[in-house]
Amino acid sequence: EVQLLESGGGLVQPGGSLRLSCAASGFTFSNYAMSWVRQAPGKGLEWVSGISGGASGTYYADSVKGRFTISRDNSKNTLYLQMNSLRAEDTAFYYCAKKWSGGDSCGFDYWGQGTLLTVSS
């Protein structure tokens, strides 16, 4: 059974940093691209960042470019999101999500339960 379990959320002051983790199990982690998607309370979905299976490619939404860094440790089946220079508008539930296919396609077939980041003084 595929499982994605995020952790690391919490309350951070503006300008602060935090690292999110996503522990994956039930599939060959290194074969799949992964992404972080966020959702502010009561709002829609926003793709934040993605990384290829072998970590050779990383991608970011304009809203987080230069502040967030995605990475993965395939030996630990874990995805990370390092978030720096946090702003109030980064407050959201953060989900990790697995791309459904290793090939050229669109769709995330498994999502974690989400971890809440609150940026506030």
Partner 1 sequence: EIVLTQSPATLSLSPGERATLSCRASQSVSSYLAWYQQKPGQSPRLLIYDASNRATGIPARFSGSGSGTDFTLTISSLEPDDFAVYYCQQRSNSMYTFGQGTKLEIK
> Where along the sequence are the contacts to partner 1 (CB under 8 A)?
33, 35, 37, 44-47, 50, 52, 57, 59, 61-62, 95, 100-101, 105-109, 111-114
| Burial degree of 22 (CB within 10 A; 0-12, 13-18, 19+) | buried
Residue whose CB is less far from partner 1, 13 or 113: 113
Min dist. Cβ of residue 48 to partner 1 (A): 9
Residue whose CB is less far from partner 1, 17 or 45: 45
Residue whose CB is less far from partner 1, 105 or 121: 105
Is the torsion defined by CA of 53, 58, 61, 66 positive or negative? positive
Q: How many CB atoms lie within 10 A of CB 112?
A: 23
